[in-house]
Homo-oligomer: A and B are copies of this chain.
Amino acid sequence: MGRPARVSPDRILAVAALEFAERGFAGARVDRIARRAKVNKAMLYYHFKSKQHLYHALLRRMFSLAAARLQTVAASNAPPADKVDRALAGIAAFIEEHAFFPAIMMREIAEGGAHLDRETLQTLSAVPRAFAAIVQEGVISGAFRPVHPFFAYFNMLAPIVFFQAAAPIRREITHLHVLDLGGASPADFVRHMQDATRRLLARDAGPARKSTS
C-alpha cells in the first residue's frame, strides 16, 4: 500500500520469521533468508548488522505486539472473568496471525533465552505482567480464588503455544495412523483452555486436595 519500498526490511523480517521458526537460530541460513526475501545477501547485512541483530529485531517486534494486545485487554473495565476469556482469545488470535511465533518462542525458551538481551526481556515481561494483573484484580475483588498469578499464566499460555506448535507432529501422527487424536480444531482447544482457566480461577469449591506425589 505505501510507497514502492525497494528492499523493505519488513519483507526481510517476515521471511526471517519463517526461517527462524522452521530451523531455529543455529539452523537458519542467512543465504536462504536473503534468497526467499529476494534481496541480495550483502543488502541484508546492510540493513541488519548480523544474523543476531536480525533475530533480535524480530523478537522485539513480536513481544512488543503481543504485550500491547494483552495490555489492551487488561486496561478495559470488563469483569475479571471476561478479561481472562478475552486474554486467551487475544493470544489465540495473535498466534493465528503469526503462526510462526509459537515455534520461535518454544525454541527461545529451550535455548535458555540465549538470544534475549535486557531490552527484549523487558518487552517480553510485559506479557505475563499484563495477565497477572488481570488475575490479581480478580483475586482481590473476590471474583477468583487465590491462585499464583504466574502459575495461572504458565497454565494457560503453555498449552496454547504447545498445541499450535505441535500441529505438524499431530498431522504426521494422524497421517501415519499411529494414534487417533479425535480430530479437534485449534479453536476447540482454545475454548477448552478458556473453560479450564475459568475452572482454575473459579471461587466455588473444587475437589479436596489430596497429595499423591
Contact = CB atoms under 8 A, between A and B. Distances in A.
A196 interface: yes
Copies in the complex: 2
A209 to B, nearest CB: 7
A109 B102 CA distance: 10
Assign chain A's interface to a size class. 35 or more
Interface string A177-190: 01101101000111
9 contacts: A24-B107, A82-B210, A82-B212, A113-B169, A147-B192, A155-B192, A196-B196, A199-B199, A199-B206
Interface of A: 21-27, 81-82, 85-86, 89, 92, 102-104, 106-107, 109-113, 116, 118, 121-122, 125, 128-129, 147-151, 154-155, 157-159, 161-163, 165-166, 168-169, 172-173, 176, 178-179, 181-182, 184, 188-196, 198-200, 202, 204-207, 209-213
Which 3 residue pairs spanning A and B have beta carbons closest together? A26-B27, A112-B168, A158-B162
